[in-house]
Amino acid sequence: MKSLTTSVFLAVVFVAGYIALRPNVSEGADTTSKYNPALIKVAWDAPTTNTDGTPLTDLLHYQLAVSKSPENPDASTEPVAYVTIPCDEPTCAFQLWDDPGVKAMIDDASIIYLQVRAVDWALNASDWSNQLAVELDTLGPSAPVNIRIELSVSVTVTTP
């Protein structure tokens, strides 16, 4: 009985962990668990304070980093596409394909890693946000088969 209780507990922990950690992309989900890269819109919540707790009043823009590697963007050995995004709202969002550099990077990727940071008017950058791993749908359908003519209309031309 004890091992059953332990198993149930572990299952609950696993499911809760999966729900907590699964990619949270605001839009763009297709019918599978992967995302259509053309539809991915990533969103984040704005900071309201500086690192010392004082109110943030000099936010300039955000910097979004898109990479095919989970490494920290500042130290990545893989190419990183950076996008500067102005936004004054409590919640900001960006459609990935709106940036040509990001679009080129996403084109042949099966998984991408996203992080964002805030930059103030003095160009001080915040730490990077949490990292979001997004699996892209790169699996196409099989080819149709047996292409054929279903309706046949024959035309007879009679010469008088």
- Residue 107 binding Ca ion, by CB under 5 A: no
Q: Which of 30, 58, 98, 107 binds Ca ion (CB under 5 A)?
A: 58
Nearest CB to Ca ion, comparing residues 58 and 74: 58
Residue-wise DSSP of the chain: -HHHHHHHHHHHHHHHHHHHHS---SB-B-SSSSB-GGG-EEEEEPP-B-TTSSBP--EEEEEEEEESS-S-GGG-SS-EEEEEE---SSEEEEEGGGSHHHHHHHTT-SEEEEEEEEEETT--BPPP---EEEEB---PPPPP-----S----------
- Residue 120 binding Ca ion, by CB under 5 A: yes
Cα 117 to Cα 42: distance, rounded to the nearest angstrom? 13
Minimal CB distance to Ca ion: which residue? 120
Ranges within 25-54 binding Ca ion (CB under 5 A): none
- Which residue stretch of 7-15, 41-49, 56-64, 110-118 sits at the interface with Ca ion (rule: CB under 5 A)? 56-64
Nearest CB to Ca ion, comparing residues 25 and 56: 56
Nearest CB to Ca ion, comparing residues 23 and 47: 47
- Residue 125 binding Ca ion, by CB under 5 A: no
Nearest CB to Ca ion, comparing residues 55 and 144: 55
List residues near Ca ion by CB under 5 A.
58, 120
